Amino acid sequence: MRICHFADSHLGAGENHYRRGQSGLTLRQEDIINGFIEAVDRIIALKPDVCIHAGDVFHTVRPLNRIMALAGAQFYRLAEQNGIPTIIITGNHDAPKQPHIGAALDVYRQIDNLYIAAESKLDIFEINGVKFFTLPHCLTTDIQKAELAKCIPDKNARYNVLILHGVASGMPEFSMADLGEQELPLEIMNRFDYTALGHFHNYCRVADRAFYAGSTERLSQSEREAAKGLIEVELEPFKIVFHEIRSRPMVDLQPIDARGKRGDQLAELIRQELEKVDSSDKIVRVKVEGVTEEIMRTIPPDAMAELKQKSFSLDVRFEKEKTEESASQFGRSAIGRLDESFIAYLDTVDLQGFDKDRLTKEALKYLNLSEE
Ligand SMILES: [Mn+2]
Protein backbone atom coordinates (compact mmCIF):
# COMPACT_ATOMS: atom_id res chain seq x y z
CA MET A 1 0.00 0.00 0.00
CA ARG A 2 1.34 3.39 -1.07
CA ILE A 3 0.08 6.52 0.67
CA CYS A 4 0.58 10.25 0.07
CA HIS A 5 0.47 12.30 3.25
CA PHE A 6 0.27 16.08 3.41
CA ALA A 7 -1.01 18.54 6.02
CA ASP A 8 -1.35 22.11 7.29
CA SER A 9 -2.26 23.93 4.10
CA HIS A 10 -3.80 26.76 6.18
CA LEU A 11 -5.83 28.05 3.23
CA GLY A 12 -6.95 31.62 3.89
CA ALA A 13 -3.83 32.59 5.86
CA GLY A 14 -1.98 35.67 4.64
CA GLU A 15 -4.96 38.03 4.73
CA ASN A 16 -2.89 40.86 6.21
CA HIS A 17 -0.46 41.02 3.30
CA TYR A 18 -0.42 44.52 1.77
CA ARG A 19 -0.96 43.66 -1.91
CA ARG A 20 -3.88 41.99 -3.63
CA GLY A 21 -3.87 39.83 -6.75
CA GLN A 22 -6.46 39.55 -9.51
CA SER A 23 -8.53 37.11 -7.47
CA GLY A 24 -9.08 39.84 -4.88
CA LEU A 25 -7.25 37.75 -2.32
CA THR A 26 -3.87 38.98 -1.10
CA LEU A 27 -0.76 37.84 -2.98
CA ARG A 28 0.25 35.91 0.12
CA GLN A 29 -3.10 34.12 0.28
CA GLU A 30 -2.60 33.21 -3.39
CA ASP A 31 0.89 31.86 -2.54
CA ILE A 32 -0.52 29.60 0.14
CA ILE A 33 -3.28 28.38 -2.16
CA ASN A 34 -0.76 27.69 -4.93
CA GLY A 35 1.33 25.55 -2.57
CA PHE A 36 -1.73 23.45 -1.80
CA ILE A 37 -2.67 23.07 -5.48
CA GLU A 38 0.90 22.11 -6.40
CA ALA A 39 0.85 19.41 -3.70
CA VAL A 40 -2.45 18.09 -5.10
CA ASP A 41 -0.97 18.06 -8.63
CA ARG A 42 1.98 16.03 -7.37
CA ILE A 43 -0.23 13.56 -5.54
CA ILE A 44 -2.36 13.02 -8.64
CA ALA A 45 0.83 12.36 -10.64
CA LEU A 46 2.08 9.88 -7.99
CA LYS A 47 -1.24 7.93 -8.09
CA PRO A 48 -1.09 6.59 -4.52
CA ASP A 49 -3.57 4.00 -3.21
CA VAL A 50 -4.73 6.48 -0.57
CA CYS A 51 -4.17 10.21 0.13
CA ILE A 52 -4.23 11.69 3.65
CA HIS A 53 -4.48 15.36 4.70
CA ALA A 54 -3.63 15.44 8.44
CA GLY A 55 -5.46 18.61 9.45
CA ASP A 56 -5.65 22.39 9.19
CA VAL A 57 -6.81 22.48 5.58
CA PHE A 58 -8.12 25.93 6.50
CA HIS A 59 -6.53 28.64 8.61
CA THR A 60 -9.81 29.46 10.34
CA VAL A 61 -13.05 27.73 11.37
CA ARG A 62 -15.06 29.81 8.87
CA PRO A 63 -12.99 30.44 5.74
CA LEU A 64 -14.08 32.77 2.94
CA ASN A 65 -16.58 31.20 0.54
CA ARG A 66 -14.05 31.65 -2.27
CA ILE A 67 -11.42 29.68 -0.33
CA MET A 68 -13.90 26.92 0.50
CA ALA A 69 -14.93 26.61 -3.16
CA LEU A 70 -11.34 26.42 -4.22
CA ALA A 71 -10.46 23.71 -1.69
CA GLY A 72 -13.55 21.75 -2.68
CA ALA A 73 -12.48 21.80 -6.33
CA GLN A 74 -9.12 20.27 -5.36
CA PHE A 75 -10.63 17.53 -3.17
CA TYR A 76 -13.05 16.75 -6.01
CA ARG A 77 -10.10 16.41 -8.42
CA LEU A 78 -8.21 14.11 -6.05
CA ALA A 79 -10.97 11.85 -4.84
CA GLU A 80 -13.73 11.79 -7.44
CA GLN A 81 -12.06 12.69 -10.76
CA ASN A 82 -8.80 10.81 -10.20
CA GLY A 83 -10.23 8.04 -8.03
CA ILE A 84 -7.71 8.45 -5.20
CA PRO A 85 -9.44 7.65 -1.88
CA THR A 86 -8.71 10.76 0.20
CA ILE A 87 -9.00 11.17 3.97
CA ILE A 88 -9.10 14.63 5.56
CA ILE A 89 -9.38 15.64 9.22
CA THR A 90 -9.83 18.93 11.03
CA GLY A 91 -6.91 20.47 12.93
CA ASN A 92 -6.90 22.96 15.78
CA HIS A 93 -7.27 25.87 13.33
CA ASP A 94 -10.32 24.67 11.40
CA ALA A 95 -12.09 22.49 13.98
CA PRO A 96 -15.22 24.17 15.39
CA LYS A 97 -14.87 25.28 19.01
CA GLN A 98 -18.54 24.60 19.76
CA PRO A 99 -20.38 21.47 18.57
CA HIS A 100 -23.35 23.20 16.86
CA ILE A 101 -21.16 25.13 14.41
CA GLY A 102 -19.92 22.17 12.37
CA ALA A 103 -16.74 22.05 10.31
CA ALA A 104 -16.20 23.81 6.98
CA LEU A 105 -15.04 20.41 5.66
CA ASP A 106 -18.59 19.06 6.17
CA VAL A 107 -19.76 20.76 2.96
CA TYR A 108 -17.61 18.29 0.97
CA ARG A 109 -19.31 15.16 2.33
CA GLN A 110 -21.07 14.56 -0.99
CA ILE A 111 -17.77 14.20 -2.87
CA ASP A 112 -17.28 10.56 -3.83
CA ASN A 113 -14.29 8.72 -2.43
CA LEU A 114 -13.61 11.49 0.10
CA TYR A 115 -13.50 10.47 3.79
CA ILE A 116 -13.97 13.26 6.31
CA ALA A 117 -13.27 13.09 10.05
CA ALA A 118 -14.44 16.37 11.59
CA GLU A 119 -16.61 15.43 14.53
CA SER A 120 -14.53 15.53 17.70
CA LYS A 121 -14.34 11.73 17.80
CA LEU A 122 -12.42 8.82 16.36
CA ASP A 123 -13.59 7.62 12.94
CA ILE A 124 -12.35 4.39 11.41
CA PHE A 125 -12.39 4.02 7.62
CA GLU A 126 -11.59 0.78 5.82
CA ILE A 127 -10.08 1.11 2.36
CA ASN A 128 -8.79 -1.98 0.48
CA GLY A 129 -8.52 -3.99 3.69
CA VAL A 130 -6.52 -1.27 5.46
CA LYS A 131 -7.92 0.42 8.56
CA PHE A 132 -7.43 4.16 8.96
CA PHE A 133 -7.90 5.42 12.51
CA THR A 134 -8.60 9.13 12.11
CA LEU A 135 -8.79 11.40 15.12
CA PRO A 136 -9.48 15.07 14.34
CA HIS A 137 -8.89 17.92 16.77
CA CYS A 138 -11.39 17.37 19.60
CA LEU A 139 -13.53 19.87 21.52
CA THR A 140 -11.71 19.14 24.79
CA THR A 141 -8.54 17.32 25.82
CA ASP A 142 -10.69 14.93 27.90
CA ILE A 143 -12.63 13.84 24.82
CA GLN A 144 -9.38 13.53 22.90
CA LYS A 145 -7.83 11.32 25.61
CA ALA A 146 -10.86 9.03 25.66
CA GLU A 147 -10.80 8.73 21.86
CA LEU A 148 -7.02 8.11 21.79
CA ALA A 149 -7.59 5.16 24.14
CA LYS A 150 -9.75 3.60 21.40
CA CYS A 151 -6.89 3.64 18.89
CA ILE A 152 -6.17 -0.08 19.02
CA PRO A 153 -5.04 -1.66 15.74
CA ASP A 154 -7.25 -4.36 14.20
CA LYS A 155 -5.21 -7.56 13.96
CA ASN A 156 -7.32 -8.77 11.04
CA ALA A 157 -6.63 -5.71 8.91
CA ARG A 158 -3.91 -5.76 6.22
CA TYR A 159 -2.40 -2.64 7.79
CA ASN A 160 -3.40 -0.10 10.42
CA VAL A 161 -2.76 3.58 9.86
CA LEU A 162 -3.26 6.35 12.42
CA ILE A 163 -4.02 9.98 11.51
CA LEU A 164 -3.64 12.67 14.19
CA HIS A 165 -3.23 16.44 14.56
CA GLY A 166 -1.28 17.88 17.50
CA VAL A 167 1.99 17.86 19.43
CA ALA A 168 3.92 14.60 19.83
CA SER A 169 4.20 14.29 23.62
CA GLY A 170 7.38 15.06 25.41
CA MET A 171 8.52 16.99 22.34
CA PRO A 172 7.87 20.66 23.01
CA GLU A 173 9.85 21.50 19.87
CA PHE A 174 6.78 20.40 17.91
CA SER A 175 4.53 22.91 19.64
CA MET A 176 3.18 25.76 17.50
CA ALA A 177 2.42 27.69 20.73
CA ASP A 178 -1.26 27.65 19.79
CA LEU A 179 -3.93 27.71 22.44
CA GLY A 180 -5.66 24.32 22.78
CA GLU A 181 -3.18 22.20 20.84
CA GLN A 182 -3.44 18.54 21.82
CA GLU A 183 -0.78 16.10 23.01
CA LEU A 184 -0.25 12.81 21.22
CA PRO A 185 1.47 9.91 23.02
CA LEU A 186 4.23 8.12 21.11
CA GLU A 187 3.31 4.73 22.55
CA ILE A 188 0.00 4.86 20.68
CA MET A 189 1.74 5.79 17.41
CA ASN A 190 4.16 2.88 17.83
CA ARG A 191 1.30 0.36 17.59
CA PHE A 192 0.55 1.37 14.00
CA ASP A 193 2.12 0.59 10.62
CA TYR A 194 2.18 4.32 9.92
CA THR A 195 1.14 7.49 11.76
CA ALA A 196 0.35 10.53 9.61
CA LEU A 197 0.75 13.66 11.74
CA GLY A 198 -0.33 17.23 11.22
CA HIS A 199 0.30 20.46 13.18
CA PHE A 200 4.09 20.96 13.27
CA HIS A 201 4.98 22.81 10.07
CA ASN A 202 8.33 21.25 9.17
CA TYR A 203 8.64 17.76 7.68
CA CYS A 204 10.23 15.38 10.21
CA ARG A 205 10.25 11.93 11.74
CA VAL A 206 8.83 11.60 15.26
CA ALA A 207 9.07 7.84 15.79
CA ASP A 208 10.08 4.88 13.59
CA ARG A 209 6.92 5.08 11.54
CA ALA A 210 5.40 8.40 12.60
CA PHE A 211 5.95 11.55 10.54
CA TYR A 212 4.92 15.17 10.29
CA ALA A 213 4.45 16.06 6.62
CA GLY A 214 4.86 19.77 7.39
CA SER A 215 2.86 22.59 5.81
CA THR A 216 2.50 23.10 2.06
CA GLU A 217 3.89 26.66 2.23
CA ARG A 218 6.15 28.53 4.66
CA LEU A 219 3.92 30.25 7.18
CA SER A 220 6.39 31.84 9.60
CA GLN A 221 10.03 32.89 9.69
CA SER A 222 10.82 29.82 11.80
CA GLU A 223 10.15 27.76 8.65
CA ARG A 224 12.51 29.67 6.38
CA GLU A 225 15.14 26.89 6.24
CA ALA A 226 12.59 24.10 5.78
CA ALA A 227 11.66 22.44 2.50
CA LYS A 228 7.92 22.20 1.89
CA GLY A 229 6.05 19.34 0.27
CA LEU A 230 4.47 15.96 0.92
CA ILE A 231 5.38 12.45 2.00
CA GLU A 232 5.02 9.35 -0.14
CA VAL A 233 5.10 6.25 2.04
CA GLU A 234 5.25 2.59 1.02
CA LEU A 235 4.13 0.38 3.91
CA GLU A 236 5.90 -2.83 2.87
CA PRO A 237 8.83 -2.78 2.70
CA PHE A 238 8.62 0.47 4.67
CA LYS A 239 9.96 3.40 2.69
CA ILE A 240 9.55 7.16 2.87
CA VAL A 241 10.11 9.68 0.09
CA PHE A 242 9.69 13.42 0.67
CA HIS A 243 8.57 15.31 -2.43
CA GLU A 244 9.47 18.97 -2.34
CA ILE A 245 7.27 21.66 -3.84
CA ARG A 246 8.04 25.31 -4.53
CA SER A 247 7.64 27.75 -1.67
CA ARG A 248 8.16 31.45 -1.08
CA PRO A 249 11.75 32.26 0.02
CA MET A 250 12.08 33.94 3.40
CA VAL A 251 15.01 36.05 4.60
CA ASP A 252 15.84 37.27 8.09
CA LEU A 253 18.39 40.09 7.68
CA GLN A 254 21.10 40.85 10.22
CA PRO A 255 19.85 43.53 12.65
CA ILE A 256 20.61 47.07 11.50
CA ASP A 257 22.10 49.51 14.00
CA ALA A 258 20.39 52.91 13.77
CA ARG A 259 22.59 54.64 16.33
CA GLY A 260 24.20 57.83 15.07
CA LYS A 261 22.23 57.90 11.82
CA ARG A 262 19.53 60.22 10.54
CA GLY A 263 16.24 58.74 9.32
CA ASP A 264 17.07 59.28 5.64
CA GLN A 265 20.44 57.53 6.09
CA LEU A 266 18.72 54.65 7.84
CA ALA A 267 16.15 54.27 5.03
CA GLU A 268 18.98 54.23 2.49
CA LEU A 269 20.82 51.56 4.49
CA ILE A 270 17.73 49.35 4.61
CA ARG A 271 17.30 49.85 0.84
CA GLN A 272 20.89 48.68 0.23
CA GLU A 273 20.41 45.60 2.41
CA LEU A 274 17.22 44.70 0.53
CA GLU A 275 19.03 45.02 -2.78
CA LYS A 276 21.81 42.68 -1.60
CA VAL A 277 19.34 39.84 -1.05
CA ASP A 278 17.33 40.63 -4.21
CA SER A 279 14.16 40.93 -2.15
CA SER A 280 11.61 41.43 -4.97
CA ASP A 281 10.25 37.86 -4.66
CA LYS A 282 11.06 37.28 -0.99
CA ILE A 283 9.49 37.69 2.42
CA VAL A 284 11.99 39.77 4.36
CA ARG A 285 12.20 40.51 8.06
CA VAL A 286 14.62 42.98 9.59
CA LYS A 287 15.11 44.41 13.05
CA VAL A 288 16.41 47.97 13.45
CA GLU A 289 18.01 48.59 16.83
CA GLY A 290 18.71 51.78 18.76
CA VAL A 291 15.96 53.86 17.16
CA THR A 292 15.14 57.27 18.68
CA GLU A 293 12.23 59.68 18.16
CA GLU A 294 14.61 61.92 16.21
CA ILE A 295 15.49 59.10 13.77
CA MET A 296 11.82 58.24 13.25
CA ARG A 297 11.01 61.91 12.58
CA THR A 298 13.70 62.23 9.90
CA ILE A 299 12.70 59.18 7.83
CA PRO A 300 11.36 60.68 4.55
CA PRO A 301 7.53 60.39 4.46
CA ASP A 302 7.22 57.84 1.63
CA ALA A 303 10.49 55.99 2.26
CA MET A 304 9.05 53.02 4.12
CA ALA A 305 6.15 52.57 1.65
CA GLU A 306 8.67 52.59 -1.22
CA LEU A 307 10.85 50.02 0.53
CA LYS A 308 7.83 47.78 0.99
CA GLN A 309 7.26 47.83 -2.77
CA LYS A 310 10.81 46.54 -3.33
CA SER A 311 10.10 43.23 -1.59
CA PHE A 312 7.35 40.66 -1.94
CA SER A 313 6.82 41.33 1.74
CA LEU A 314 8.78 43.47 4.18
CA ASP A 315 8.51 43.49 7.93
CA VAL A 316 10.67 46.13 9.61
CA ARG A 317 10.75 46.11 13.40
CA PHE A 318 12.00 49.33 14.95
CA GLU A 319 13.35 48.84 18.45
CA LYS A 320 13.61 51.91 20.62
CA GLU A 321 16.89 52.80 22.20
CA LYS A 322 16.45 51.73 25.82
CA THR A 323 17.23 54.40 28.37
CA GLU A 324 17.62 53.65 32.05
CA GLU A 325 14.71 55.92 32.77
CA SER A 326 12.28 54.07 30.52
CA ALA A 327 13.42 50.70 31.81
CA SER A 328 12.84 51.59 35.43
CA GLN A 329 9.51 53.27 34.75
CA PHE A 330 8.04 50.08 33.43
CA GLY A 331 6.10 48.11 35.98
CA ARG A 332 5.99 50.83 38.62
CA SER A 333 4.15 53.86 37.29
CA ALA A 334 0.48 54.21 36.42
CA ILE A 335 1.18 52.17 33.28
CA GLY A 336 2.68 49.52 35.51
CA ARG A 337 -0.68 49.06 37.12
CA LEU A 338 -2.38 49.20 33.74
CA ASP A 339 -0.32 46.31 32.43
CA GLU A 340 -1.16 44.28 35.53
CA SER A 341 -4.85 44.92 35.13
CA PHE A 342 -4.64 44.07 31.43
CA ILE A 343 -3.08 40.69 32.24
CA ALA A 344 -5.78 40.09 34.83
CA TYR A 345 -8.40 41.05 32.21
CA LEU A 346 -6.98 38.49 29.76
CA ASP A 347 -7.76 35.77 32.29
CA THR A 348 -11.44 36.70 32.21
CA VAL A 349 -11.99 36.53 28.43
CA ASP A 350 -12.30 33.58 26.07
CA LEU A 351 -9.01 33.47 24.18
CA GLN A 352 -9.66 30.37 22.13
CA GLY A 353 -7.61 30.54 18.96
CA PHE A 354 -5.18 33.09 20.41
CA ASP A 355 -1.73 32.60 21.82
CA LYS A 356 -2.09 34.13 25.27
CA ASP A 357 1.63 34.37 26.05
CA ARG A 358 2.29 36.19 22.83
CA LEU A 359 -0.70 38.46 23.32
CA THR A 360 0.55 39.36 26.79
CA LYS A 361 4.06 40.03 25.51
CA GLU A 362 2.82 42.22 22.63
CA ALA A 363 0.44 44.13 24.88
CA LEU A 364 3.20 44.84 27.38
CA LYS A 365 5.39 46.09 24.57
CA TYR A 366 2.76 48.61 23.45
CA LEU A 367 1.82 49.68 26.94
CA ASN A 368 5.50 50.22 27.55
CA LEU A 369 5.93 52.28 24.37
CA SER A 370 3.00 54.55 25.12
CA GLU A 371 4.59 55.38 28.45
CA GLU A 372 7.83 56.66 26.94
MN1 LIG B 1 -2.42 22.88 13.75
Model confidence pLDDT, tens digit, residues 15-54 = 999 999 999 999 999 999 999 999 999 999 999 999 999 9
Report CA(144)–ligand 1 centroid distance (Å). Answer: 15
Comparing 44-48, 141-145, 332-336, the range with the smallest average pLDDT is 332-336
pLDDT tens, position by position, 347-372: 666 676 677 777 777 777 666 654 33
Report CA(217)–ligand 1 centroid distance (Å). Answer: 14
Q: Are residues 9 and 113 in the same domain?
A: yes
Q: Are residues 115 and 63 in the same domain?
A: yes
Report CA(36)–ligand 1 centroid distance (Å). Answer: 16
Report CA(94)–ligand 1 centroid distance (Å). Answer: 8
pLDDT at position 334 over 60? no
Integer Cα distance of 163 and 88 in angstroms: 9
Q: Are residues 16 and 145 in the same domain?
A: yes
Q: Are residues 8 and 133 in the same domain?
A: yes
Report CA(262)–ligand 1 centroid distance (Å). Answer: 43
Q: Are residues 104 and 213 in the same domain?
A: yes
Report CA(245)–ligand 1 centroid distance (Å). Answer: 20
Q: Could you tell me if residue 10 is left (phi over 0), alpha (psi between -120 and 50 degrees) or otherwise beta? A: left
Q: Are residues 26 and 136 in the same domain?
A: yes
Percent of the chain with pLDDT over 70: 89
Report CA(271)–ligand 1 centroid distance (Å). Answer: 36
Burial 82-96 (b: 16+ CB within 10 A, else e): bebbbbbbbbbbbbb
Report CA(209)–ligand 1 centroid distance (Å). Answer: 20
pLDDT at position 96 over 70? yes
Peptide bond into 85 cis (omega under 30): no
User: Of the residues 245, 265, 282, which one is the last residue of a structural domain?
Assistant: 245
Its domain, for residue 173, covers 2-245
Q: Are residues 174 and 197 in the same domain?
A: yes
Average pLDDT over residues 326-332: 42
Report CA(336)–ligand 1 centroid distance (Å). Answer: 35
User: Of the residues 245, 276, 300, which one is the last residue of a structural domain?
Assistant: 245
Q: Are residues 254 and 225 in the same domain?
A: no
Tally helices (H) and strands (E) across the chain: 10, 18
Integer Cα distance of 137 and 164 in angstroms: 8
Q: Are residues 354 and 312 in the same domain?
A: yes
Report CA(25)–ligand 1 centroid distance (Å). Answer: 22
**φ/ψ of residue 135, rounded to 5:** -120, 105
Query: What is the tally of structural domains in the chain?
Result: 2
Q: Are residues 220 and 297 in the same domain?
A: no
Report CA(310)–ligand 1 centroid distance (Å). Answer: 32
CATH of the domain at 79: 3.60.21.10
Comparing 69-83, 224-238, 245-259, 318-332, the range with the smallest average pLDDT is 318-332
Q: Are residues 159 and 19 in the same domain?
A: yes
Q: Are residues 254 and 286 in the same domain?
A: yes
146 Cβ partners below 8 Å, 6+ apart? none
* Closest-CA residue to 116 (of 138, 94, 89): 89
User: Of the residues 218, 245, 272, which one is the last residue of a structural domain?
Assistant: 245
